[in-house]
């Protein structure tokens, strides 16, 4: 069918790209102006409006929606804008180019977002929600770094603008891109995360270090030649394979196996924009159909989170997205003339081309821009430049197809677009169905605290400019669970292993601590470095008071000025004290309380922990909340507030007695946190789901009487008498066989993990095995028969 006939049959609401634009500047340019983000973006938007072939003001007046790609300066809660920025970037751009949109949108974080947003708003035009949309993105990281490093703060420009107006800010949407365990072990930035995946792939395909390095160079060298011809490229220099992979002063290793020249270049000043509208409006404005480009196919998928992926060497969601986009376009990969595959790191490209059967030297090339290491990686907006290039190619060759593959996170989110000047109505696709299949795949269980023999799964070493080195290891325990661990900075044995030809699959040993997991070449090596310490009480504690009275241990959190809130040092002391208590055969019962009459404990001392907030002993708050089993009784004597972590500590104890003025609560949700130190699990078990949900979701507190009624507290003392009551309870326990008490605790813990009631009861029979050979059992029966008080030995 002739193109004119195809055009005439289009639905008037069919979305069509009518303009694209790019702008850039380099510090070395003769006309470098140091533009702010809004000004650079406005240039790209103006260029895109003019690219329609109709006067830019005429097109601008029709734009009802402006969509911004989120910049790195606002991509996470920790991001900052050193030079300031408009409070409403989409409307700041609109103000500069004459647009007054009905709707302004700021997208989520991720390199997939330019394509994902274009797909979404193209569908919106087809549905009649919009008639004309401008999408844009910009980064001026190079200028910002230059100004911050070379201009006194008082002389720096201020790019703050108060624009106001409606803005649909979609937030970061970065949940799942990293975990608390990855963060505490330094696996939080893209560089080490991708290096971890790259080394896993090298092991899977069986390449030597030398051959793998060369393969990465062969993958990226052709891209550099494309960048050398691109006027918007940040580094327009053609590179040879040897230049890319040879390590020297200018091309240092930034994370094994990556050198500086084969990773994304984010210090750029680049912007790009796309004008999207309905066929009806394009006709009304008189835009030449020769400039129309259609989105023939599209798909959006997401990968499992890093720690849960069954195979760290590959991410099947990317190839699935490409295949589905081609299916929607009703073409095959061989029908595609132009390719742009997101190239922040080599493995991001390999992850797409390997399963699709594409070769690194495919004659079509794998980039339209020159790739992120050479063209540049303008934050989340790289693929907007790829789309602009794809539109230009489609116009030049109207019967051809261009494929853009955008990647977000750590090969976490993939968005794909198939572009052509061939007229076509909108096809909705079924990314949700593709995702259902992906989500059905098995996952791996992450393990926070890893201990014991393990297998090295993948790794990287990140060298510091000061000569330091950070070793990061992912491994599997015998049960198949996955952990992340660091290498101690002076553990030459472990670093030598990681520097060997292929350490993956090697047996190693891992040990957890308050500082995180640490990997060693063997248990013997770990013991040489950390000889086992025998638990023992110290002569002095800075943050805890301790008193022994026969078989009773009294422990007092001694930070009354901080409402007995715990910081790392106090947690460490309590952890050591309870280690010693559980190991001391002469101590049978412990009481834990707080100094003063205001608080048992107000939980985590956020004012004192700061960046060390994650440094909690592996045994949890107070050395109690994360212990799998407390082998001896611990009584919580709550003398005031038991809030947050303080409430969780009380919940971890076997018996809770309270002053009549005590109160209990989990206020974490009120400060943006969650009661993950046991509160979310133990509170429902203690007080029932209804009351627990009320407390957890609202921050509601229970007073002592309410806590007693709910089952959180077993006894209440008059004001000021809680320790007297706790000692009474302790003496009642001490009147019983300590062996029976310990075995009962063990049996209850074991039975608690068994859902079937009868099976759980049978599990408790195991207590008899120990009691039948216990001296205390013989003593108890003898004392009962002779009508005398028993003399317990604890044996």
Let me know if 385 is exposed, middle or buried by CB neighbors in 10 A (0-12, 13-18, 19+): buried
Assign 3-state DSSP to the chain and report helix, strand, coil percentages, each to 5. Answer: 40, 20, 40
Q: Which residues lie below 8 Å from residue 676, measured CB to CB, with a gap of 6+?
A: none
Q: Concatenated DSSP letters for 363-398?
A: TT-S-SS--TTTT---GGGHHHHHHHHHHHHHHHST
Token representation of residue 267: 């210090």
Residue linked to tokens 């901080």: 562
Token representation of residue 123: 């569908």
Q: List strand residue ranges (DSSP E) for 212-334, in order.
A: 253-255, 258-259, 269-278, 294-302
Q: Each residue of 487-513: b (16+ CB within 10 Å) or e? A: bbeebeebbebbeeeebbebebbbbbe
Contact, 513 vs 579, CB < 8 A? no
Residue linked to tokens 């000569």: 467
Contact, 407 vs 379, CB < 8 A? no
For the chain, the farthest-separated pair of C-alpha atoms sits apart, in whole angstroms, at 110
668 carries an active-site annotation: yes
Q: Which of 37, 389, 668, 743 is catalytic?
A: 668
Q: Give the three-class secondary structure for 259.
A: strand
Task: Give the Cα separation of 144 and 74 in Å (integer).
Answer: 14
721 carries an active-site annotation: no
Task: Give the Cα separation of 253 and 281 in Å (integer).
Answer: 52
**Cβ neighbours of 5 (radius 10 Å):** 9
The sign of the CA dihedral 564, 565, 569, 570 is: positive
What residues does 259 pair with on adjacent strands?
253
* DSSP tag of 645: H
Q: Which residues lie below 8 Å from residue 11, measured CB to CB, with a gap of 6+?
A: 126, 279, 425, 426
Residue/partner pairs of 669-678 with CB below 8 Å, 24 or more apart: 669/696, 669/697, 669/698, 669/699, 670/699, 671/606, 675/644, 675/647, 675/648, 677/616, 677/620, 677/621, 677/625, 677/626, 677/645, 677/648, 678/620, 678/625, 678/626, 678/648, 678/651, 678/652
Contact, 643 vs 702, CB < 8 A? no
Helices 679-687 + 645-652 axis angle, to 10: 60
The distance in angstroms from the start CA to the end CA of the chain is: 94
Contact, 629 vs 652, CB < 8 A? no
Query: Parallel, antiparallel, or unpaired: how do β-strands 544-549 and 552-557 relate?
Result: antiparallel
Task: Give the Cα separation of 650 and 565 in Å (integer).
Answer: 13
Contact, 553 vs 590, CB < 8 A? yes
Helices (H) and strands (E) in the chain, counts: 28, 27
What is the side-by-side strand order in the sheet with 663-665?
599-601, 641-643, 663-665, 701-703
**What are the start-end ranges of the H helices in 397-519?**
431-439, 492-498
Q: Which of 198, 648, 743, 763 is catalytic?
A: 648
Q: Name the nearest CA neighbour of 291 among 423, 164, 414, 161.
A: 423
Task: Give the Cα separation of 703 and 683 in Å (integer).
Answer: 15
Catalytic (active-site) positions: 648, 668
């Amino acid at each position: 069918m002739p193109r004119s006939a195809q055009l005439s049959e289009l639905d008037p609401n069919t979305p069509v790209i009518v303009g694209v634009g790019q702008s850039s500047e380099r510090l070395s340019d003769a006309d470098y102006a140091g533009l702010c983000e809004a000004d650079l973006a406005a240039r790209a938007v103006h260029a895109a409006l003019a690219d329609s072939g109709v006067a830019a003001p005429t097109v601008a007046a029709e734009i009802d929606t402006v969509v911004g790609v989120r910049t790195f300066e606002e991509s996470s809660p920790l991001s900052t804008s050193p030079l300031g920025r408009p409070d409403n970037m989409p409307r700041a751009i609109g103000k500069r180019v004459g647009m007054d949109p009905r709707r302004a949108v700021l997208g989520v974080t991720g390199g997939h977002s330019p394509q994902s947003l274009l797909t979404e708003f193209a569908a919106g035009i087809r549905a009649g929600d919009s008639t004309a949309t401008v999408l844009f993105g910009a980064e001026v990281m190079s200028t910002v770094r230059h100004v911050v490093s070379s201009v006194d703060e008082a002389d720096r420009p201020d790019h703050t603008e108060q624009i106001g107006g409606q803005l649909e800010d979609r937030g970061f949407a970065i949940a799942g891109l990293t975990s608390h365990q990855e963060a505490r072990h330094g696996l939080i930035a893209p560089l080490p995360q991708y290096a971890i995946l790259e080394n896993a792939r090298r092991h899977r395909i069986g390449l030597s270090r030398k051959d793998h390095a060369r393969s990465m160079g062969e993958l990226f060298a052709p891209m550099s030649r494309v960048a050398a011809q691109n006027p918007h490229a940040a580094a327009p220099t053609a590179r040879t394979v040897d230049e890319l992979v040879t390590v020297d002063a200018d091309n240092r290793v930034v994370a094994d196996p990556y050198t500086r020249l084969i990773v994304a270049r984010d210090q750029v000043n680049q912007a790009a924009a796309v004008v999207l509208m309905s066929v009806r409006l394009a006709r009304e404005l008189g835009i030449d159909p020769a400039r129309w480009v259609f989105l023939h196919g599209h798909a959006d998928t997401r990968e499992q989170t890093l720690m849960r992926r069954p195979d760290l060497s590959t991410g099947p969601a990317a190839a699935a997205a490409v295949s589905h986009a081609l299916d929607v376009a009703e073409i095959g990969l061989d029908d595609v003339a132009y390719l742009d595959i997101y190239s922040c790191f080599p493995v991001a490209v390999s992850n797409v081309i390997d399963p699709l059967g594409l070769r690194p030297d495919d004659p079509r090339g794998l980039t339209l821009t020159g790739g992120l290491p050479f063209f540049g990686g303008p934050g989340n907006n790289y693929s907007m430049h790829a789309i602009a290039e794809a539109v230009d190619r489609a116009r030049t060759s109207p019967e051809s197809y261009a494929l853009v593959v955008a990647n977000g996170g750590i090969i976490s989110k993939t968005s794909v677009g198939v572009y052509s000047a061939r007229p076509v109505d909108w096809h909705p696709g079924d990314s949700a169905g593709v995702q259902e299949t992906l989500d059905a795949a098995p996952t791996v269980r992450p393990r926070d605290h890893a201990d014991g023999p393990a297998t090295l799964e993948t790794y990287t070493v990140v060298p510091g400019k000061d000569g330091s080195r950070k070793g990061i290891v992912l491994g599997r325990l015998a049960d198949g669970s996955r952990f992340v661990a660091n290498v101690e900075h002076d553990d030459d044995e472990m670093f030598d292993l990681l520097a060997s030809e292929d350490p993956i699959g090697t047996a190693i040993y891992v040990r957890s601590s308050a500082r995180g997991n640490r990997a060693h070449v063997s248990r013997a090596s770990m013991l040489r470095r950390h000889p086992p310490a025998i638990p023992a009480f110290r002569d002095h504690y800075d943050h805890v008071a301790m008193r022994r009275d026969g078989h009773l241990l009294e422990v007092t959190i001694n930070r009354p000025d901080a409402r007995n809130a715990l910081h790392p040092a106090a947690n460490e002391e309590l952890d050591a004290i309870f280690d010693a208590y559980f190991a001391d055969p002469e101590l049978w019962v412990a009481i834990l309380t707080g100094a003063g009459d205001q608080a048992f404990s107000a939980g985590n001392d956020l004012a004192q922990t700061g960046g060390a907030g994650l440094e909690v002993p592996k045994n949890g708050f107070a050395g109690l909340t994360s212990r799998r089993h407390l082998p001896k009784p611990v009584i919580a004597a709550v003398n005031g507030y038991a809030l947050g972590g303080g409430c969780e500590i009380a919940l971890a104890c076997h018996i809770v007695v309270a002053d009549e003025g005590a109160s209990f609560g989990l206020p974490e949700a009120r400060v943006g946190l969650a009661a993950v130190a046991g509160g979310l699990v133990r509170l429902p078990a203690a007080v029932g789901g209804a009351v627990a949900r009320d407390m957890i979701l609202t921050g509601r507190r229970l007073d002592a009487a309410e806590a007693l009624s709910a089952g959180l507290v077993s006894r209440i003392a008059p004001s000021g008498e809680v320790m007297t009551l706790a000692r009474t309870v302790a003496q009642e326990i001490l009147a019983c066989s300590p062996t029976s008490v310990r075995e009962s605790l063990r049996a209850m813990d074991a039975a608690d993990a068994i859902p079937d009631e009868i099976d759980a009861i049978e599990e408790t029979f195991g207590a008899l095995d120990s009691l039948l050979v216990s001296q205390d059992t013989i003593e108890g029966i003898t004392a009962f028969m002779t009508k005398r008080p028993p003399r317990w030995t604890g044996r």
